[in-house]
Amino acid sequence: MTTTAPQVGKQRKKGRGVFGNTGLYIAVGVAALLFLIPFYLIVRNSLSTDLEITGENWKLLPSFQWGNISELFDDPTVDFGRSMINSLVVAVLTTFGTLLVCSLAGYGLARIPYRHANKVFYAVLATLMVPTAVTFVPSFVLVSSLGWVDTYRGLIIPGLFSGFTCFLFRQYFLGFPKELEEAARVDGLGYWGAYWRIVVPNSLNFFAAIATITFISAWNSFLWPLVIGQDPSSWTVQIALSSFMTNQTVNFHLIFMATAISILPLIFVFLFLQRWLVQGIAQTGIKG
């Protein structure tokens, strides 16, 4: 039986597809391996001694110094457990506050008819062009005058509004189906009712994406907590991490152990929200 030309073409395409998929899997596997190397080094060094970390005879596996965990939390100079709690409180409240403030601002700019709405929106965008260093000192003077130094209020409230997050919410709400809101208004709901009972429940993917980004940013924040949290009892985890490295000593095993523990909340947040994260990012509305 002779093989026709279309069948030969299909077989060639199938062969190229198999080899193409194999190459893709290899590339993804190599990329994943390279991505996981830093995490492996963190875990490996966190369960090693300083000599094993800096010595010439480097080993692939650590000596599993589980006592490093208790040494970290029992360190009299740094209350690492307290710093973890501080970071968790700051990150969670900042995330919820940012979602509420920026989503309301974005919804108002996108839906509420107002003569100066575009001017307000352009003013919000203008804040993105102002360097953080320019507003840092005035913000600190204001927070200090209010007596918010070494408090959660000083750590959280100044960071609740983000011009970029407000921009993303506005762009997303511009693409939100108006028919759903019009049906809500027929039922007697106002702007607040339509926002809370119609828009938010149908935008959870987008809210989850913004929440993930905001939580990671608040958790990793360093400069502002360093200035506001002057007392050790108000240190966040990033400030506590920096305290293990001084001009006199560097506690490598404690630095790596603290780093390994400090990234666990970020991993849990990502794993919990990953189902909505990709869909939410795809709906950011930047294309509009």
- DSSP structural state of residue 245: B
Neighbours of 82 (CB within 10 A): 17
Q: Which amino acid is at 45?
A: N
pLDDT tens track for 63-74:
889 999 999 999
Separation of alpha carbons 288 and 167, rounded Å = 11
Asked if the model's pLDDT at residue 15 lies above 70, the reply is: no
Separation of alpha carbons 75 and 85, rounded Å = 16
Asked if the model's pLDDT at residue 118 lies above 60, the reply is: yes
The percent of residues in the chain predicted with pLDDT above 90, rounded, is 47
pTM: 0.84
Give me the pLDDT at residue 285, please. Answer: 44
Give me the pLDDT at residue 115, please. Answer: 85
Asked if the model's pLDDT at residue 124 lies above 80, the reply is: yes
Look over the chain and give the mean of its residue pLDDT values, rounded to a whole number. Answer: 86
Which CATH class name applies to 69-282? mainly alpha
Separation of alpha carbons 111 and 192, rounded Å = 11
Contact yes or no for 161/102 (Cβ under 8 A): yes
Give me the pLDDT at residue 149, please. Answer: 93
- 7-16, 106-115, 137-146: least confident range: 7-16
Separation of alpha carbons 88 and 82, rounded Å = 10
Beta-bridge partners for 33: none
Neighbours of 20 (CB within 10 A): 11
Tokens at 266, concatenated = 């970020």
**Which one is predicted more confidently, 89 or 288?**
89
Give me the pLDDT at residue 186, please. Answer: 84
Give me the pLDDT at residue 87, please. Answer: 95
Give me the pLDDT at residue 14, please. Answer: 53
Asked if the model's pLDDT at residue 3 lies above 90, the reply is: no
**Which one is predicted more confidently, 26 or 276?**
26
**Which one is predicted more confidently, 188 or 281?**
188
Separation of alpha carbons 11 and 19, rounded Å = 12
Beta-bridge partners for 164: none
Of 227, 193, 232, 269, nearest to 79 by C-alpha is 232
Give me the pLDDT at residue 12, please. Answer: 54
All structural domains of the chain with their residue ranges? 5-66, 69-282
Give me the pLDDT at residue 141, please. Answer: 94
Give me the pLDDT at residue 16, please. Answer: 55
Separation of alpha carbons 254 and 252, rounded Å = 5
